[in-house]
Chains A and B, each alone.
Chain A
Amino acid sequence: MSGHIARAGIVGTAQSRYRTHRPDVHYAELVQQTAFDVLADAGMTIDDIDAIVFAMAPTDFVGITDVDKWAIGAIGGAGKPFMRVQLGGATGVAAAQAGYFHAASGEFDNVLVIGADKVAETPDGQHVLSLMFDPFYERESGLNTITMAALHAEMHMRKYGTTTEHLDQVAIRAWRRAQRNPHAHLSGILEPADLAVSPLIATPLRRYDVCPRSTGAAGVIISSERAIARDQRDAAWVTGVGAIANSVFIGDRTGADADLNYADWGELRLAADQAYAQAGITDPASQLDVVEIYAPFTICEVSGVEALGLCAPGEGGPALARGDFDTGAAVEVNPSGGTLCANPIAVTGLVRVCDAAAQLLNRAGDMQKARAQRAVATAVGGTFQFQSVMVMDRQPQED
């Protein structure tokens, strides 16, 4: 697929502050507050919303099966079309894409895409994540979300020479940038010495290579071209959407017979190729200003910048360690600090969309990159088997 896609744009964004636990609100109240905030950001009331897409990943953290149904009343969903999107970690971008399709089709003028995760309701979070593996082949094989990332990291390091020092710099720089992000769960000044003594989890990943589990909510409002023109709103126009799925088995992504190799994020490259073709992006390193990559592990920021074409394969580690994509660079990667500094799993992809769109709406506060014109948000899910990409632009594409 290539060429222009139908026009719709993001006209409002909102995020909660992310932290481990939010005992002050229950799930429906958590998402409700962000519904108020995103309506305020867009200058709308709930009556302006024509449809709702709810972003919610597996609900075992929250402990209430398909908890989206509990939130409907609280977010003004009564009497409106409603659907939930679930794509593991990629849920947030997938939901934003569904919201885009709703609006771009002309079926709905203003679509609220919203969700929340409340991960600290159970202390058994790692067990919840291990249940994503099938019971016959992989659940007893030692795989979990961290060990599967460690295997990817070991492959990337062997293939390209990526080092622990590169990964340390990814964490240090992410935490430092997150100091400008009022929503971040983790931020601060890390020193290489802190990382050197931090606990090893699974080689080569240590504590700071791994994202936190966060509680919080995020939302965007996506409007049709017609509604944006009628109401004279600023918009971050959606100019490209791409998505790729692959087999759950990471072992299928090895060897000479494999289409894609687990050492790389080839799924993200393919999803980005789709979105770039639609958005007219042929040289991402010169055409993009802000990229929000869903990188739940330091190694994923490396694989991510490579897959998105911001540097050559194997160059991601050295480039990130040098600060080539840090604050003030031509392309800023994760100016928010990214997923290493907050991971409210069900909405982490939507956070990426919020942070990217806010840059184009000039509402990114201390994170704002001056004159940002074009931004990308990505999300990854499952066994790194889902990759979803959204390209946004300050201007709608010319006809």
Chain B
Amino acid sequence: MSEIPQDTIVLPEDRHLHYDFASGYITAHFLRNLGEGRILGTRAGANGRVYVPPRAYCERTFEPAEEWVEVGPGGTVEAATIVTAKFLGHPDPPFVIGMVRLDGAGTAITNYIELSDEQLADLDTARDVVAPGTRVKVQFKQERQGRVTDFHYVLDNG
């Protein structure tokens, strides 16, 4: 083997795969309501936990979670991070994402938190502005597509 040239060949390949993700009924109902400006969860019968994103069954008790309930529009930041690096498929930095527990929900759902350029100018300040416990509210886009990108969070300044 030592007699063969010590160099290698690189074979390039680009891929494009198209997918059509089927949502199922539960997620379709959630997304259609999102398109109407409502965020829905499902309430588990036995322990009353409200799941957002919705589940058909409570993941703890395995009982049906059949009751649909609207949550929000207010919510509480469980955690947020200010993203300052560019990632493929994400917005240009800086931007904020937060896990927010919407009022009436037992779980949190992650989405972008909108801050002003002034608030983002100093990152230590911005971290405090979106610290755990901060109150936020849902803001829907005018043009909605029935996707999670139809909404984001903004600070709830009362």
Taking Cβ atoms with an 8 Å cutoff, the residues of A that contact B are: 23-24, 63, 124, 126-127, 130, 135-138, 140-144, 146-147, 150-155, 158, 199-204, 247, 249-252, 254-259, 262-263
Q: Are A23 and B10 in contact (CB under 8 A)?
A: yes
Q: Are A141 and B97 in contact (CB under 8 A)?
A: yes
A300, chain B: closest CB distance, angstroms: 15
Nearest 8 A/B pairs, CB to CB:
A251-B108, A142-B97, A150-B81, A257-B106, A254-B78, A151-B79, A141-B110, A201-B85
Binds A, one of B62-70, B86-94, B136-144: B86-94
Binary CB contact string for chain B from 42 to 86 against chain A (1 if under 8 A, 0 otherwise): 000001010111000001100000000000000000111111110
Q: How many residues of chain B are within 8 Å of chain A by beta carbon?
A: 49
Q: Are A147 and B97 in contact (CB under 8 A)?
A: yes
Q: Report whether over half of chain B's contact residues are helix, strand or loop; otherwise say mixed.
A: loop
**In the bound complex, how far is the Cα of B49 from the Cα of A259, in angstroms?**
12
Q: Are B90 and A142 in contact (CB under 8 A)?
A: yes
Q: Are B78 and A251 in contact (CB under 8 A)?
A: yes
**In the bound complex, how far is the Cα of B8 from the Cα of A23, in angstroms?**
7
Chain A residues near B108 (CB, 8 Å)?
A: 250-252, 254-255
Q: Are B107 and A158 in contact (CB under 8 A)?
A: no
| Nearest A-chain residue to B51, judged by Cβ | A252
B35, chain A: closest CB distance, angstroms: 13
Q: A158-B132, A254-B78, A254-B99 are in contact. Are A203 and B110 (CB under 8 A)?
A: no
Q: Are A251 and B110 in contact (CB under 8 A)?
A: yes
* 14 A–B contacts from the bound complex (CB under 8 Å): A126-B88, A130-B88, A136-B21, A138-B148, A142-B91, A150-B81, A202-B85, A203-B82, A251-B52, A254-B79, A254-B107, A255-B101, A255-B108, A262-B79
Q: Are B59 and A247 in contact (CB under 8 A)?
A: yes
Chain A residues near B19 (CB, 8 Å)?
A: 135
**In the bound complex, how far is the Cα of B51 from the Cα of A153, in angstroms?**
24
Q: Are B23 and A136 in contact (CB under 8 A)?
A: yes
| Nearest A-chain residue to B124, judged by Cβ | A203
**In the bound complex, how far is the Cα of B60 from the Cα of A142, in angstroms?**
27
Which listed residue, B59, B106, B148, touches A141 by the CB 8 Å rule?
B148
Q: A150-B81, A154-B80 are in contact. Are A142 and B59 (CB under 8 A)?
A: no
Q: Are B101 and A254 in contact (CB under 8 A)?
A: yes
Binary CB contact string for chain B from 28 to 47 against chain A (1 if under 8 A, 0 otherwise): 00010000000000000001
Chain B residues near A152 (CB, 8 Å)?
A: 79
Chain A residues near B119 (CB, 8 Å)?
A: none
